[in-house]
Amino acid sequence: MATSVLCFRNDFRLLDNPALRAAVDAGPDGVVPMFVLDEHYWGPGGRTRLAYLMRALAHLDERIGLTIVKGKPWEVIPRVARSVGATSVHVAADYTPYEAERDQRIERALAEDDVELVRTGSAYAVAPGRITKADGSPYRVFTPFYRAWLEHGWRDPAPGARDVPWIRADVETTALPEVDPPEGLELPPVGEEAARRRWREWLDHVDEYDDVRDLPGEDLTSRMSVHLKWGHVHPRTLLADLAERSSKGAEAYGRELAFREFYADVVHHRPDTIEGYYDKRFERMEYDHPGGDLQLWKDGRTGFPIVDAGMRQLAATGWMHNRVRMIVASFLVKDLHLEWTVGAKHFMDLLVDGDPCSNQHGWQWVAGCGTDAAPYFRIFNPVTQGKKFDPDGRYVRRWVPELRGVEGKAVHEPWTLSRPPEEYPAPMLDHAAERKESLRRYEALRS
């Protein structure tokens, strides 16, 4: 009897799943679908993602009957494999630091029982480490990486596995714990069908994506980041649909998918940057100690409407428009003079689509210390950014109800009104003065 084990991690789909097909080929008499509740991920932060994960697991469990076990993966996975006499355990390859080490430990533990750990596919169209310069070194700048990524190409979506012989392992299992999201936060839909339905609906708008992607008030971005994070859909599936279109919007969207893969590649080559600085010179930058100013930023009470709208959207939905992510990040680093790691941690605590590679390197881009980073002296003015990217104030009024009665572009600087709304705070700082202070600190670092 030939059986196998398929260990899901963040690839909760049955379509376009090469690891599933490999598991079926190796285990025609039965495949155990399992998930490990790994204690590594259970800490004080990231409750939004844990709450979403529990719902995604419950949804998948209803479809195929998961064997859910709790413990160290390198201890419990061999136990499950032994219980069904499996000769192989199948996973999608993982490349972030803890995950790569975890899989090495699983591989060694399985080898003691002559069981093979088979890595098939990954969460990316092009796996990290696959694309290098001619001399074998990794790319440090996105644009040449993007050109090489396009030239390299990727496989077509994998055919779905039909009539999978799912079986349960006869081992001690655990019930899924109940994890509530932070108070007031509404989670997006879970599941493979929800992802594909969302993609089909949004694909009608992709041709205009290049024109509207920076306008948070239009709310016309795809919202696929959460589904890519949890593997409800594979980027190959999206790229296959985009390949049928020749519009600038489709090209721009594909470029965004490439950015996700670029940052994963960077972390693969520089695993230290998942926690620390890519450009270590900036470790010596003068930063302020987090205090009450940080809490005002988190609460969306800075007095700068576009910043507050973004932070309130994050608190209410576990998601924030990408343009606004850059604006609020710039405000924290260059107006409040706080270290980027403080903001990155808060994002990872609340984001339902929190991807460590993209999050950490997105923040480092703003802070001037990452790959292909924005020059440190590029300091976003929150008022002009609001006027440019939310020209009619629709986004601000949606998330800052105190300003819904303010007409015109004054919504981005309500303190200029003869009678500013009493319930909305005055600006917590003078942006022009803090900009000068940021530049002073940068010059001190350079010298």
Q: What's the token pair of residue 266?
A: 């960077």
Q: What stretches of 282-430 show up as alpha helix (H) in DSSP?
A: 292-299, 305-317, 322-330, 340-350, 356-367, 382-389, 394-399
388's CB contacts (< 8 A; 6+ apart) are: none
Contact (CB, 8 A) for 197 and 92: no
Q: How many CB atoms lie within 10 A of CB 108?
A: 12
What's 166's DSSP letter?
A: B
- What residues does 68 pair with on adjacent strands? 35
The CATH T-level fold of domain 123-157+194-269 is: 1.25.40
Q: What stretches of 112-247 show up as alpha helix (H) in DSSP?
A: 142-152, 192-203, 209-212, 225-229, 235-242
Amino acid (one-letter) located at 191: G
* The predicted structure's pLDDT at residue 162: 81
Superfamily for 4-122?
Answer: HUPs (3.40.50.620)
pLDDT tens for each residue of the chain, 447 residues long: 799 999 999 999 999 999 999 999 999 999 999 999 998 888 767 889 999 999 999 999 999 999 999 999 999 999 999 999 999 999 999 999 999 999 999 999 999 999 999 999 999 999 999 999 999 999 999 999 999 999 999 999 998 888 899 999 999 999 999 999 988 899 999 999 999 999 999 999 999 999 999 999 998 999 999 999 999 999 999 999 999 999 999 999 999 999 999 999 999 999 999 999 999 999 999 999 999 999 999 999 999 999 999 999 999 999 999 999 999 999 999 999 999 999 999 999 999 999 999 999 999 999 999 997 667 778 999 999 999 999 999 999 999 999 999 999 999 999 999 999 999 999 999 999 999 999 999 999 988
* The predicted structure's pLDDT at residue 378: 84
Question: In what side-by-side order are the strands of the sheet with 31-37?
Answer: 67-70, 31-37, 4-7, 88-93, 116-122
Which CATH number is associated with domain 280-446? 1.10.579.10
How far is the C-alpha of 82 from the C-alpha of 32, rounded, in Å?
12
Q: What's the token pair of residue 74?
A: 């390198």
Q: Give ranges for CATH 3.40.50.620 in the chain.
A: 4-122
Residue in 244, 178, 161, 261 with CA at minimum distance from that of residue 207: 244
* The predicted structure's pLDDT at residue 41: 87
Could you please report the per-residue DSSP string of 245-257?
--SHHHHHHHHHH
SS3 content of the chain, % helix, strand, coil (to 5): 50, 5, 40
Q: Backbone dihedral region of 201: left (phi > 0), alpha (psi from -120 to 50 degrees) or beta?
A: alpha
Q: How many CB atoms lie within 10 A of CB 407?
A: 9
* The predicted structure's pLDDT at residue 116: 97
Q: Give ranges for CATH 1.25.40.80 in the chain.
A: 123-157+194-269
Q: Give ranges for CATH 1.10.579.10 in the chain.
A: 280-446
Question: Which stretch of DSSP H or E encloses residue 90?
Answer: strand 88-93
Q: How many CB atoms lie within 10 A of CB 348?
A: 18
What's 276's DSSP letter?
A: S
